[in-house]
Structure 1
């Protein structure tokens, strides 16, 4: 296998999903541009160019409202599964493993291996931060994308109201507006439903070869067992 082939084989999951993301985002931009111009024409306004649409608050809020819900899902799932368990699910730890677990189990401090990340063997703040770095990153990305959604959302909301000759509102007023919470909660409920469904369905159903499923022959009561 060539060097390029080995790289593709070792990074296929990231590359495929990354490419699919770019294509889906491009598709959203194209269809969103068409829909946006249809609305402008219906209101007897001039349509905008594709480049102009990419700079609009309408496009930005549609993108960021989805991003924040996805990062919220990962943040809650990463932190929630430290303590919350589901008997029989590969998405859960074993029932006696609730909590942050012992240093030996986590291979930190004096239990770190030669190939462990450097900060796993460090003490103090560095190890404490690194031990929670994934959840911290997801929380930060969620908060930043939610903040961006609120800023672009109020801009889009005010643009629509100005076209209808209605007075704009402030950012603080928008945070309490039905439009903001409707956009937010319709994404949150779908993400929470998906996570909960995956946790319970994986107790009884299987997908051969997937690490997100238990091995096909594992008992329904087997917890924290993943396939491969």
Structure 2
């Protein structure tokens, strides 16, 4: 029970992720069956659908936009502010991270200087950026495979994976997700100035004035 209490947020989010992924898989499979039936082609099994390039492409298409949003947000909030928002650092507060740290309880890399210390100090943004690039590459390559598969079904020549990087379909899939991520983040930043969520670390205290910046 202690493990559940100490890790409840992560466990709940991962459970929601797993349920959503399963729902994505099963409903996508049903859509694929209907499409195959319309074209007079044999059905595909649910497990076989897991290897379908269209399904894999849509999975990483979504992950790509999320990791882009988080990486951009983490980096922008290090340099830009929105006065009154709980999602922003306070521009009037002293610099929080002075490195190298002289706190003996700080992680070893935080007490050092040099390249390793710089990497440690920027590790979150870098990790999220790497996850974005990896997701984008997987979205791109599997979307190219799906396009090649569709072209073959229609007796057309398929574009190479590299050439598909310039295909409007790939960027249509990406931009339709990116814009929603940036909009939702901007809305959260602004709404957190005026609205509250009791006991949430993502919100200012309920009694805090609207001008208070940071949670």
For 1:80, the equivalent position in structure 2 comes to: 76
Does the residue aligned with 2:63 lie in a helix, a strand or coil? Answer: helix
* Residue 38 (1) aligns with residue 34 (2): yes
Asked whether the equivalents of residues 107 and 120 of structure 1 are also in contact (C-alpha less than 8 Å), the reply is no
Q: How many residues align?
A: 215
- The unaligned stretches of length 5 or more in structure 2 are none
The alignment's TM-score, normalised by the length of structure 1, stands at: 0.90
- Inter-partner Cα distance in structure 2 for 1:50 and 1:184: 26
Q: CA deviation at 1:107?
A: 5.4
Task: Write out aligned runs for 1:1-228 (5 A).
Answer: 5-96=1-92, 102=95, 105-106=96-97, 108-111=99-102, 113-224=103-214, 226=215
Which region of structure 1 is more displaced relative to structure 2, 136-145 or 36-45? 36-45
Extract structure 1 runs of 4+ deviating beyond 6 A. none
CA RMSD of aligned residues (A): 1.3
Cα 1:109–1:54, aligned 2, differ >3 Å: closer, same or farther? same
CA displacement, residues 90-129 of structure 1 (integer Å, 9 cap, x when unaligned) = 10011235xxx85xx3254242x23322211122111111
- The unaligned stretches of length 5 or more in structure 1 are none
- Inter-partner Cα distance in structure 2 for 1:27 and 1:116: 43
